[in-house]
Structure 1
Amino acid sequence: MGISMNGFDELIFAFDELSEMPDSVLDGMLEAGAKVVERVTRETGESYGVHRTGVTLGAIGHDAPRKTADGKAVYIYPKGSTANGPNKTKRNAEVAYINEYGKKNQPPRPFMRDGAERAAGEAVQQEEQKFNDYLTSKGL
């Protein structure tokens, strides 16, 4: 009487395929999630009234995925600067910070944090779709 296993070779092959997943797949997953977070953060900013000129919300973007100590990450933030009166410029990140945490006579409008939290479910769905597309391409 022997032990019989069906599909074991296919399972080992599947794990080998997953271990060799190209960086481009992970990058695509991170990019897909970042696009969702950007869109929802802009929408959240609009709902909080962070749109006097629209420059800061329009400047929300992300850099290419980069390696970190924990793997890879993509950073989403307001890029660049905006005109703030004659001969003055202010970094969009600074404007967003003031909106996020408030200042004297200006209550906080935490659109960055709330936007990221609101986007989490949809961002994960988009990332999962990219991963599932990769699995399907490998017949897994």
Structure 2
Amino acid sequence: MAKCDMKMPEDFLLKISKLGSNFDSVADTVLQAGGEVVLKKVKSNLSSVIGRGTKFKSRTTGELEGALGLSPSKLNRDGNHDIKVGFAEPRSDGGSNAKLANILEYGKHGQPAKPFLKPAKTASRQECIDAMTKALDEEVEKL
């Protein structure tokens, strides 16, 4: 699964500190807004990669695309709020969606890599930041 760490500017951190006891609910809303942007881009990239450039007719069932989703926002062990874009497990055949996604992303012997996660992370970075900033401003205005 892809991981992204972002460092926050001081003015942003001051705005967050003003939220007080409403921080958790606002953080969930803001992370959800950013996660939706990234999820949309990952789904788009995944659907364009599946079945492309194969020697034989594609045997895709659509199960990998259907398993892609967004986790609920949670606190991690460091006390930071996290939201994850990933695959639900297991597949109907008992296999692993994460394994198939890894093979697509990095390839294997006889199968070239078809990256979809890393390009989505890069391409959606600014749009994600903008969506999260907009959602934060809306939540602060509500208070």
Residue 131 of structure 1 aligns with an amino acid whose one-letter code is L
After TM superposition, give the deviation of residue 15 of structure 1 in Å: 8.1
| Cα distance in structure 2, aligned partners of 1:124 and 1:70 | 21
| Cα distance in structure 2, aligned partners of 1:64 and 1:75 | 8
Q: TM-score, normalised by structure 2?
A: 0.73
Q: How many residues align?
A: 121
After TM superposition, give the deviation of residue 19 of structure 1 in Å: 4.1
| Cα distance in structure 1, aligned partners of 2:89 and 2:130 | 30
Q: Which residue in the other structure is 2:111 paired with?
A: 106
After TM superposition, give the deviation of residue 120 of structure 1 in Å: 1.4
1:59 to 64, 67, 90: 67
| Cα distance in structure 1, aligned partners of 2:82 and 2:61 | 30
Q: Which residue in the other structure is 2:96 paired with?
A: 91
Q: Percent identity?
A: 24
Counterparts of residues 109-124 of structure 1 (less than 5 Å) = 109-124=114-129
Query: In 2 relative to 1, CA 120–45 (structure 1 residues): closer, same or farther, beyond 3 Å?
Result: same
Deviations 1:10-56 (CA, angstroms, capped at 9, x unpaired): xxxx8873344420100111111111111110101122235822211
Query: In 2 relative to 1, CA 15–44 (structure 1 residues): closer, same or farther, beyond 3 Å?
Result: closer
CA-atom RMSD, angstroms?
2.2
Q: Does residue 127 of structure 1 match 2:132?
A: yes
1:75 to 80, 84, 93: 84
In structure 1, runs of 5+ residues without a counterpart are 1-13
Q: Does residue 137 of structure 1 match 2:138?
A: no
Q: Which has the higher strand share?
A: 1
Q: TM-score, normalised by structure 1?
A: 0.75
2:72 aligned counterpart, secondary structure: coil
Q: Which residue in the other structure is 1:30 paired with?
A: 31
Query: In 2 relative to 1, CA 16–105 (structure 1 residues): closer, same or farther, beyond 3 Å?
Result: closer
Q: Give the structure with higher Rg (CA).
A: 1
Query: In 2 relative to 1, CA 103–54 (structure 1 residues): closer, same or farther, beyond 3 Å?
Result: same
2:95 aligned counterpart, secondary structure: strand
Q: Which residue in the other structure is 1:39 paired with?
A: 40
